[in-house]
Structure 1
Amino acid sequence: MHTRAKGNIAEERGCDYLRNKGFRIIDRNVYNRFGEIDIIALSPDSVLHFVEVKSAQNYEQAVNNITPAKLQKLNRAIQTYLQQKKLNFDYCIDALIVTDEAVEYIENITF
C-alpha cells in the first residue's frame, strides 16, 4: 500500500475517533504555502483543534516524526488559515497517533 493511501486510512480513523469524542470535523487536508493541516475540528467546548496525524508501526516511531521544524511549519500554516478564513477562535495543536493497534490522541502539543 502506498504511503498516501496509508495516510488517508490513518486520517479517516482519526476523524472517526474525534467524531466519537464529540468533535465536529471542519476541514481536512488544508494546504497553503507553509504546509498541510491534516484535520481541523471544533470541540464540544468551541475550541478549534488543528490535528497532526501520524501513523507508523509503533507509537514511538510515529511520535518521533513530529519534529520542532514540523510544528513550526504547522503553526505558520495555521496562522495563514486563520487569517484567510477570518476566524477568531481559541485553538490548540493536537496530534493523533495511529498504529495498527490503537489511536492515541495527544491534546495541546507544544514546540
Structure 2
Amino acid sequence: MSRAKGDAAEAQAVRFLMERGCRILERNAYSRFGEIDIIAEKGGALRFVEVKSGTGFDPIYNITPTKLGRIVKTAHAWLKKSGSDLPWQIDAVIVRDDGIEWLENITF
C-alpha cells in the first residue's frame, strides 16, 4: 500500500474516532520501538490506536503479536514522556472498502 493510501486511511480513522467522541492528542507518535498511528482520549482513558487498511484481504491480520509488542513499548515511552497517569488501552481501526470497524482494547 502506498503512503498516500495509508495517510488517507488514517485521516478517515481520525474523523471516525472524533465522530464517536474521541479527542485526538497526537498522530504518528514515534519512539525507538516503533510508531503509534493515533493517540486519543475518550471517557478519561487514553487510546493508542493502530490503523490498518487494505483491499483484497482482511487488514486485521496485519496486526501481529510482534506489532502489538512494539505498540505497547511505544505507549510506555509516550506515557513516560507525557507524564500521564490516565488508564490506557490499545485499539485498532480497520478501514475497508465497505466501512470502518473499531476494535477496542485489543490484546495478544
- TM-score, with normalisation over the residues of structure 2? 0.96
Alpha-carbon separation, structure 1, partners of 2:66 and 2:55: 22
Instruction: Note the alpha carbon deviations across 1:41-67, whole angstroms, 9 max, x for none.
Output: 011x11100000000115x52011000
Pairing of 1:74-89 with structure 2 (within 5 A): 74-89=71-86
- Residue identity in the other structure for 2:11: E
Identity of aligned residues (%): 44
- Residue identity in the other structure for 2:24: I
Alpha-carbon separation, structure 2, partners of 1:22 and 1:81: 22
Match of 1:64 in 2: 61
- TM-score, with normalisation over the residues of structure 1? 0.93
Q: Which has the higher strand share?
A: 2
- Residue identity in the other structure for 1:79: H
- The count of aligned residue pairs is 108
Alpha-carbon separation, structure 1, partners of 2:54 and 2:79: 30
Runs of at least 4 residues of structure 1 off by over 2 A? none
Segments of structure 2 that go 5 or more residues without pairing to the other structure are none
Alpha-carbon separation, structure 2, partners of 1:100 and 1:9: 12
Residue 7 of structure 2 is aligned to residue 8 of structure 1:
yes
Alpha-carbon separation, structure 2, partners of 1:47 and 1:7: 26
RMSD: 1.1
Match of 1:93 in 2: 90
Segments of structure 1 that go 5 or more residues without pairing to the other structure are none
